[in-house]
Amino acid sequence: MNNKKGGRPKLSPAEKLKYRVAVKLCTQDFYTLKVKAAQAGMTCTEVARLAITSCQIRQRFTAEQMDCIRKLSGMGNNLNQITRRANAEGYTNVRAEYFYLADKIDDVLNQMENDSKNS
């Protein structure tokens, strides 16, 4: 005699959806979620769960990274001034200054890239 019952097999404890998170949304966010869910043919819960599992959270910038961004901003301003002078005086007069600044910008970008890989 076969005692098997029909229906869906039981989920493992890791697969069970047993935790609930309450989220408050403003009216605009709520209707945006409803529209996105309808367009995807999913429920609002499925869209939220998918957003949680597939999103990538990045940490805030550190003080060192903010310092690098400020340096890059200043270097960008200097580069614009060099370009303006190059157009006014001729490229040969500011060529060395341009290459020096370009190397410095590369150094700062490489430092930021290395910092983000180590974090």
pLDDT of residue 102: 81
Q: Do 73 and 108 share a domain, yes or no?
A: yes
Q: Do 79 and 110 share a domain, yes or no?
A: yes
Q: Do 73 and 90 share a domain, yes or no?
A: yes
pLDDT of residue 30: 94
Plot region of 66 (φ>0 → left; ψ -120 to 50 → alpha; else → beta): alpha
Q: Which tens digits make up the pLDDT trace of 1-37? A: 567 677 888 888 888 888 888 889 999 999 999 999 9
Supply the DSSP string of 15-67, one letter for each residue.
T-----------HHHHHHHHHHHHHHT--HHHHHHHHHHH----PPPPHHHHH
**What is the C-alpha separation between 98 and 44, in angstroms, rounded?**
53
Q: Which two structure tokens, joined as six digits, stand for 27?
A: 């009216």
> Do the domain assignments include residue 1?
no
Q: Do 75 and 112 share a domain, yes or no?
A: yes
Q: Which domain holds residue 80?
A: 63-118
Convert 46-59 to b/e letters by CB count within 10 Å (16 or more is b). ebbeeeeeeeeeee
Running DSSP on this structure, what letter comes out for residue 13? T
Q: Do 76 and 104 share a domain, yes or no?
A: yes
Q: Which tens digits make up the pLDDT trace of 46-67? A: 998 898 888 877 778 888 888 8
Q: Which tens digits make up the pLDDT trace of 59-92? A: 788 888 888 889 888 888 888 887 787 777 777 6
Q: Do 90 and 106 share a domain, yes or no?
A: yes
